[in-house]
Structures are given as C-alpha cells and as structure tokens.
C-alpha cells in the first residue's frame, strides 16, 4: 500500500513521537519503519507487545544484512517486531555509524516498503539535512511529510528545505503547535509555504502536548487515548490516510487506544 515518509529539516520537532502516535491510531493496517540514519529510538522507548523489551538488534540492520542478496517486500515482516498496543515496528539502526556502510540500502528499502502488501508504511526518516542518500528512499514515497514546530527558527529551516527540494515526491507539512495557538500557527505556516511557491499537497497540525508525549512512552491506555496528542493524531492520521489512498478505500478510523496496553485495530500488518 502507501509509503509515507515522516521527517524534519533539522532540530528535533517530534518526528518519532508523531510517527508513534500516528501508528497507534492509523485507520488501516500499518507498519512503522525507523529509517533514521542517525539511529532508531523505539526499541529503547517502548515495551514489546508482550510487556518485555524489544530486541534493538533486530530490524533495519538484520534486514540490511539480507538485502545484499536482493530485497523483497515480504522479507520486511521477518525483521519487524510488535510493540505495545500491537503496532508493528521495523526497529532502526542501533547507532548512526552503521549508516556509513548502508548508503546503498535506502533505494531498495524504499522500493520494498512502498510495495509492502496489505499495510501502509510510516517511515520515520529523522532529519533530512546531512543525509542526501535518503533521497533514494524519499523518491519512492506517496507523500513526504515534513514536521516543524511553529517557532521562527524551525519555520525558517522548513522554508529553506522546501525551496531546495525541487521537483520530487508530493510534500506535506505538519505543524506541532501549542493548542492555544493551534489554528493561528497552522495558518501562519500555510502563508509561509505559499510564499515559497513550492507546491505542498497537505498541511496539517499536531498538538504540542508534553503530557501526551510522556504517556506515549509508557503503557498505552485510556489517559493517553484522551490526550490532545492522540486526539489530534487521530484526526491527522485520518486525513493523511485518505490523502494517500482513494477515499473509497479508507475505512472509518478504527485504531483506538481503548484499554491499558491495547490498540484496537481491524487487522494488524502481518496477520
């Protein structure tokens, strides 16, 4: 199904947090793939579905070792793990140095992720600056979503990134904004994007919600489900999923965190 890249220009606006929140409430089967060349975070942040710890060594690195002999979309499932709530994750590199030996991987990985059957893929690509080899993966995406905070420095970097990206995959922008200035912040970023002349197909928002971000790192449950982060993530997930797939293929949003440690979803990736 669709490959959606989630990334930032620089700084740490909250891409991994957003990727996790979106994965938790995605309305269709989904795989969260940590494709940040600087290394993954999820194996250290979140418990496994059975309450144990994730194996940080199983994921992109083990997939990369087999990919030299050719990479088929079905192989990706063999290297993914289930985290809390039943979300399927392809864990990232354990440290950034590993990316040096894997510059060839991003193109084949992008092609394989875009061809994963029966699931959308959310690929957390981290910060785009300094990793030009990631563009081979970006080229395979249905949509590249750039995350920004609403502050002047973040938006200035986003603006420069948009101008420098030239023609390529469809772009989206998501503003992580203080709930008190939510609409104003998104409108302001919309105006700045328009002034660049770069076509941006999707603009949305996600709440800046430190409490929600903290809850997302623990055992998922009702308090997280009611947080602003998850409520805005649910709306964003519904819009993004509808954007990358024809509306008739988009079921009603169904993935919701309804009880501690449980994400209800119609069908999980790999089931």
Ligand X SMILES: Nc1ncnc2c1ncn2[C@@H]1O[C@H](COP(=O)(O)OP(=O)(O)OP(=O)(O)O)[C@@H](O)[C@H]1O
CA distance 31 to 150: 28
Q: Which residue is nearest to Mg ion (CB)?
A: 16
Binding site for Mg ion (CB under 5 A): 15-16
Q: Which residue is nearest to ligand X (CB)?
A: 14
25: its two tokens: 């409430």
Could you say which DSSP state residue 85 is in?
B
Indicate the length of the chain as a whole number. Answer: 271
Based on the shown chain and the rule CB under 6 A, indicate whether residue 209 belongs to the binding site for ligand X. Answer: yes
Contacts of 82 (CB under 8 A, 6+ apart): 48, 49, 88, 89, 268
| Residue whose CB is less far from Mg ion, 15 or 257 | 15
Based on the shown chain and the rule CB under 6 A, indicate whether residue 12 belongs to the binding site for ligand X. Answer: yes
Based on the shown chain and the rule CB under 6 A, indicate whether residue 37 belongs to the binding site for ligand X. Answer: no
Based on the shown chain and the rule CB under 6 A, indicate whether residue 28 belongs to the binding site for ligand X. Answer: no
**Minimum CB distance to ligand X, residue 233 (Å):** 9
Q: Count other Cβ atoms within 10 Å, centred on residue 260.
A: 15
Q: Which does 34 bind (CB under 5 to 8 A by kind): Mg ion, ligand X, none?
A: none
Sign of the C-alpha dihedral, residues 40, 127, 117, 22?
Answer: positive
Among 105, 142, 213, 230, binds ligand X (CB under 6 A): 213
Q: Which does 141 bind (CB under 5 to 8 A by kind): ligand X, Mg ion, none?
A: none
| Residue whose CB is less far from ligand X, 179 or 260 | 179
Among 14, 56, 110, 205, binds ligand X (CB under 6 A): 14
The phi and psi torsions of 13 (rounded to 5 degrees) equal -65, -20
95: its two tokens: 């440290």
> What is the footprint of ligand X within residues 130-169 (CB under 6 A)?
none
Residue 189 CA, chain-centre distance (Å), reads: 20
Q: How, if at all, do strands 81-82 and 88-90 pair?
A: antiparallel
Among 32, 176, 186, 262, binds ligand X (CB under 6 A): 176
- Reference 144, options 159, 160, 128, 155; nearest CA is 128
**Minimum CB distance to ligand X, residue 251 (Å):** 26
Query: Which spans of this chain sit near ligand X (rule: CB under 6 A)?
Result: 8, 12-17, 36, 41, 126-127, 176, 206, 208-210, 213, 229
């Amino acid at each position: 199904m669709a490959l959606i890249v989630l990334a930032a220009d620089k700084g740490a606006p909250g891409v991994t947090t957003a990727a996790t929140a979106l994965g938790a409430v995605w309305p269709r089967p989904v795989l969260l793939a940590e494709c940040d060349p600087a290394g993954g975070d999820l194996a250290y942040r979140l418990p496994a579905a059975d309450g144990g710890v994730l194996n940080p060594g199983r994921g992109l690195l083990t997939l990369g070792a087999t990919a030299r002999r050719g990479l088929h979309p079905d192989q990706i499932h063999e290297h993914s793990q289930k985290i809390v709530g039943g979300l399927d994750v392809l864990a990232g590199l354990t440290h950034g140095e590993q990316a040096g030996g894997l510059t060839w991987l991003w193109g084949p990985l992008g092609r394989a992720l875009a061809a994963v059957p029966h699931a959308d893929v959310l690929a957390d690509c981290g910060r785009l600056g300094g990793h030009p080899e990631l563009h081979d993966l970006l080229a395979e995406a249905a949509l590249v979503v750039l995350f920004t905070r609403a502050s002047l420095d973040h938006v200035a970097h986003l603006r420069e990134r948009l101008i420098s990206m030239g023609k390529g995959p469809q772009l989206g922008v998501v503003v992580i904004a203080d709930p008190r200035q939510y609409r104003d912040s998104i409108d302001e970023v919309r105006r700045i994007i328009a002034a660049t002349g770069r076509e941006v197909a999707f603009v949305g928002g996600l709440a800046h919600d430190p409490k929600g971000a903290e809850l997302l790192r623990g055992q998922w449950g009702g308090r997280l489900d009611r947080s602003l982060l998850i409520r805005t993530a649910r709306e964003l997930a519904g819009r993004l999923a509808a954007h990358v797939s024809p509306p008739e293929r988009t079921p009603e949003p169904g993935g919701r965190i309804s009880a501690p440690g449980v994400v209800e979803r119609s069908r999980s990736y790999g089931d």
